[in-house]
Structure 1
Amino acid sequence: MLEVIIGQLFSLGGPILVLLIAMSLLGLTAAIYKALQFARLGVGRHGGSRRALAAWTTGDARGALDIAGADRAAISRVIAAGMTALISNPGDVAHAEQVAAQEAQRFLATLSRYLRAIESIVQAAPMLGLLGTVIGMIDAFANVAAGGGAADPSALAGGIWVALTTTALGLIVAIPFYFISVWLEGRLDAERTALELAISEVTLARVRPA
């Protein structure tokens, strides 16, 4: 397989193959970056925020803020922003909800960054692979035409087989990144839902002075 890929690099479809390899490296870099970013921002890690919300709903505003402040997960920063706004002005629930929502939007915008690049690779890789195959087959049949239709069938079949490797490589690139994209999008959607519920708990609870 490696010899076939190397051979393709010097064929008419070589630039397509180079582009697919570059896309796979770009997608891998983006996927690793997103996985590390999700871990750093505490995506899916809600233990600290749940403890803070439990203290908040019992009226322990100061304790809730301390718990949220000690947690490194971004969801805790979001609810801490809403709690601080409500402690400062207990009657202005709308303002507190707006403050928390803005913090949540910044957090979600950060998580969404570069996801579109992975999705683009999923969509573009198979089409590029097909393009490489079409170019390779055009080249193979052009050789037949140049030989007056008397080209060696084994050479023609070999050329088509080599050309089809671009389609295979396009699928090899696209399929893993499809599942990576689905996994990242699923975690992002779950985090968005958790943020909405957490903000609702903060704004619906009665606040006592800290």
Structure 2
Amino acid sequence: MEIIYSMVAFFQKGGLFMYPILIVFAVGMAIAVERWVQLNLIRQRNRKMWGQVQPLLAEGDFDQAREMTNDDKSTIAQMLSMGLARQGAVRRREDIEIAMEECMMEIIPQLEKRTPYIALLSNIATLLGLLGTIMGLIEAFTAVANANPAEKADLLSASISVAMNTTAFGLMAAIPLLLLHAKLTSTTGQIVDSLEMASVKALNSISNSSKRQFPAG
């Protein structure tokens, strides 16, 4: 309980700027949690879908793979569906690759959406903390100017201590948001890498199947 009382006292001493910092932190955490849940769901669905469709691609059963990807809503299924649709129509590797790259250009912004706001909110929390400290120092020096000379040192040190609370709280809010932003960016990169790997493997399977059906010479 003492820790809670200390936190409450720390927050109350910081002044009005503690509230916007808290709001910024709460918004940033809400976005981070939502993105974390979504990215993990996307990754799990992609892994499940790839585990089902990879054997079909390796066997050259593109009709079954096409039907499976059309019925699935995962990002990897969307990408493979575009490529397999071209495979059934033209069979040219370049056209299939372009189709999957076009789909990737639509998928990547969906994976990255709202994540940059976390870094932005982290910077805002830091700046609000600094602004709160500066405003607190201005008030402190104004109050000290009219104070009794014997009390100036004590009053100034107490006022500066209170003013620094906003900077400390701003950094306490900003650091976790920055770490979460880095983790989400890394997770997004891993998903994109897995999609690119699946694209290359699918293209290789299609090319190998075409060579078996239409051998050179």
TM class by smaller structure: 0.7 to 0.9
- Separation in 2, partners of 1:150, 1:191: 64
Which whole-Å deviations, capped at 9, do the CAs of 1:137-163 have from their partners, x for residues lacking one?
222122222226443433322211111
Which whole-Å deviations, capped at 9, do the CAs of 1:141-198 have from their partners, x for residues lacking one?
2222222644343332221111111011111111111111111100111111111121
- Asked if 2 retains the 8 angstrom alpha-carbon contact of 1:43 and 1:187, the reply is no
What fraction of aligned residue pairs are identical, expressed as a percent? 21
- Separation in 1, partners of 2:189, 2:43: 14
- Separation in 2, partners of 1:159, 1:44: 55
Query: Partner letter of residue 168 of structure 1?
Result: A
Deviation at 1:30, TM superposition (A): 0.8
Deviation at 1:118, TM superposition (A): 0.2
RMSD over aligned Cα atoms: 2.3
- Separation in 2, partners of 1:153, 1:143: 12
* Residue 11 of structure 2: aligned partner: 5
- Asked if 2 retains the 8 angstrom alpha-carbon contact of 1:68 and 1:77, the reply is yes
Tell me the TM-score normalized by structure 1: 0.84
> In the alignment, is residue 123 of structure 1 matched against residue 123 of structure 2?
yes
Query: Partner letter of residue 29 of structure 1?
Result: A
Which whole-Å deviations, capped at 9, do the CAs of 1:25-75 have from their partners, x for residues lacking one?
210221122123224434684232143133213211123234434554311
- Separation in 2, partners of 1:201, 1:4: 56
The structure in which a higher percent of residues are helix is 2
Deviation at 1:82, TM superposition (A): 0.8
Query: Partner letter of residue 59 of structure 2?
Result: T
Unpaired segments ≥5 residues, structure 2: 1-6
* Residues 36-185 of structure 1: pairs in structure 2 closer than 5 A: 36-42=37-43, 45-69=46-70, 71-91=72-92, 93-147=93-147, 149-185=149-185
* Residue 29 of structure 2: aligned partner: 28
* Stretch moving more, 51-60 or 37-46: 37-46
Query: Partner letter of residue 60 of structure 2?
Result: G
Unpaired segments ≥5 residues, structure 1: none
* Residue 198 of structure 1: aligned partner: 198
- Asked if 2 retains the 8 angstrom alpha-carbon contact of 1:43 and 1:191, the reply is no
- Asked if 2 retains the 8 angstrom alpha-carbon contact of 1:43 and 1:73, the reply is no
- Separation in 1, partners of 2:196, 2:122: 30
- Separation in 2, partners of 1:74, 1:194: 11
* Stretch moving more, 42-51 or 151-160: 42-51
- Separation in 2, partners of 1:184, 1:37: 10
Tell me the TM-score normalized by structure 2: 0.82
Query: Partner letter of residue 27 of structure 1?
Result: G
Query: Partner letter of residue 53 of structure 2?
Result: A
